[in-house]
Amino acid sequence: MQLNDEEQDILAGKIGPLPQQALQHQIKVGNFFGARDLVPVSQAHIMADTESLGEAGVRWLEQLASSTEGQRTVRIPTITDPRGTDFAHAAFLGQTADMLDLERRAIAAFVQLGVSMTDTCINYQTIQAPIYNEHVAFGDTGVVIYSNSICGARSNFEGGPSALAAGITGRTPRYGFHLPDGRRATLKICTEFTPDTLNDWGALGGVIGRGEYEWAAGLRAEIMNLTWLFVTAVGATILLWNRSFLTLWVGPENYAGFWTNLLVVIATVQTALVRTDAYVLDATLQPRLRVWVAAVAGVAIVGFSIALTPSLGIVGVCLGVLMGRLVQTIAYPLLVDRCLHRPARLRIRSIARPLTVMLVMFGATATVGERVLAHHWLGWAAGVALSLAIMMAVAFVAGLPAEARGTVLGRLRTMLATARG
């Protein structure tokens, strides 16, 4: 490995035995991974649980902390992962006196070395988030993943001794994620849905790990069916009772009228469906084409709105939004197909039935909504609840093909079984 003048002095012991020992360790690691030199780092995060360290590891820490010559502490901000014992509840957890003693000795050694006992694995949220292209030496798996991806910083998965060595020397071997070539993706995954819960993300990880991309595509279709079912039923219910709601709340003079009511709901549904594919494109770390499409859609929205508003008023604005966003409605599914390495084509046949049912339901409920008026909040609430149930049933039966209905029912049964334990 190539060392600069300061690093040559550290290796020669001129700064003290502590940084000398740390650099010797780093050179061995660097030679193993083929690092050409060392890169300065601004902070370090140590994984050093006593259940992993054991007696030998803690003695090693104590030996480092006992240094009396030269530099005796870390030279950059260095923090720790959560500790492995709970002094207040040790008996309840079955942690022995020997375990507690080992933990106390480790903490004392870290403190003597100048390490901050933050005891956290989310330092990117609570302590000091790394910034784009910042070189750091982090050990915790989640910390390294988040810092490299979301923050754009640069860190390998540093072992405990390596992270501590980086804290002491202020540098780490330049290999892996510290190099541009080491940060290039070797596998691109495109999903057609956005996970909402930790369970969703875990399931997606399992699917990707097994390479079940067709299964993942089917899962996306299932979620899209559920989204369509929900927005169609809710949209139809809104169209049926929105005039009554505004009349009871702020007065009938604030109701914008049939066409505005209808177009606003359609635009909202369009947004809900478009956003799903937008999240997918963002998740693939290929936002450039999505951004360009969104920019074109934005220009189209402004252009159509300016052209139509003088003659149509608020209806013109609604039409401008719908027409401009049609660019995204058409382009995003094609971009998703491209990410999934599938033929990019508009699947008109698959969307014709749900689209037709949705428009018929919206037109019918908007028309009836002009003729139905609730005079009390209780009647309005009862009407909304009953209408939502009816609209959900109609959309389910009329808008989804038999296979999709079976999938949705199966998912609902699974959810109910899970809720019941």
Domains parsed from the chain with CATH numbers: 5-183 (3.30.499), 198-287+309-316+347-420 (no CATH)
Give the pLDDT of residue 280: 64
Give the pLDDT of residue 267: 93
Mean of the per-residue pLDDT values for the chain? 88
Residue 181's CB is within 10 A of a number of other CB atoms, namely 6
What number is the average pLDDT over the span 238-265? 93
Coil, helix or strand for 2?
Answer: strand
What number is the average pLDDT over the span 29-49? 92
Which one of 143-152, 372-381, 403-412 scores highest in mean pLDDT?
A: 372-381
Question: pLDDT band at residue 240, thresholds of 50, 70 and 90?
Answer: very high
How is residue 297 written in tokens? 């859609």
Decide if 259 contacts 315 (C-beta within 8 A).
yes
Question: pLDDT band at residue 195, thresholds of 50, 70 and 90?
Answer: confident
What number is the average pLDDT over the span 277-294? 73
Question: pLDDT band at residue 322, thresholds of 50, 70 and 90?
Answer: very high
What number is the average pLDDT over the span 189-204? 76
**Continuous segment of H or E residues that includes residue 40:** strand 38-40
Give the pLDDT of residue 212: 56
Give the pLDDT of residue 88: 86
The rounded distance, in Å, linking the Cα atoms of 248 and 234 is: 20
Question: pLDDT band at residue 217, thresholds of 50, 70 and 90?
Answer: low
The rounded distance, in Å, linking the Cα atoms of 286 and 367 is: 43
Selected residue with higher pLDDT from 79 and 201: 79
Which one of 94-103, 120-129, 160-169 scores highest in mean pLDDT?
A: 160-169
Does residue 187 register a pLDDT over 80? Answer: no
The rounded distance, in Å, linking the Cα atoms of 360 and 366 is: 10
> 193, 196, 197, 215: which is closest to 283 by C-alpha?
193
Tens digit of pLDDT for each residue in 64-95?
999 888 999 999 999 888 887 888 888 888 88
How is residue 191 written in tokens? 């999903």
Q: What angle do the packed helices 258-283 and 213-249 form, to 10 degrees?
A: 150
What number is the average pLDDT over the span 132-143? 90
Does residue 412 register a pLDDT over 70? Answer: yes
Selected residue with higher pLDDT from 172 and 126: 172
The rounded distance, in Å, linking the Cα atoms of 176 and 34 is: 9
What number is the average pLDDT over the span 297-323? 94
> 293, 299, 292, 290: which is closest to 320 by C-alpha?
299
Does residue 335 register a pLDDT over 90? Answer: no
Does residue 54 register a pLDDT over 80? Answer: yes
Give the pLDDT of residue 369: 94
Could you tell me what percent of the chain has a pLDDT over 90? 55
Give the pLDDT of residue 210: 61
User: How much of the chain is in helix, strand and coil states, percent to nearest 5?
Assistant: 70, 5, 25
Give the pLDDT of residue 215: 65
CA dihedral 29, 32, 36, 37 (to 10 degrees): 10
Q: Secondary structure of 128-165 in the HEC alphabet?
A: CCCCCCCECEECCHHHHHHHHHCCCCECCCCCHHHHHH
Does residue 276 register a pLDDT over 80? Answer: no
What number is the average pLDDT over the span 235-252? 95
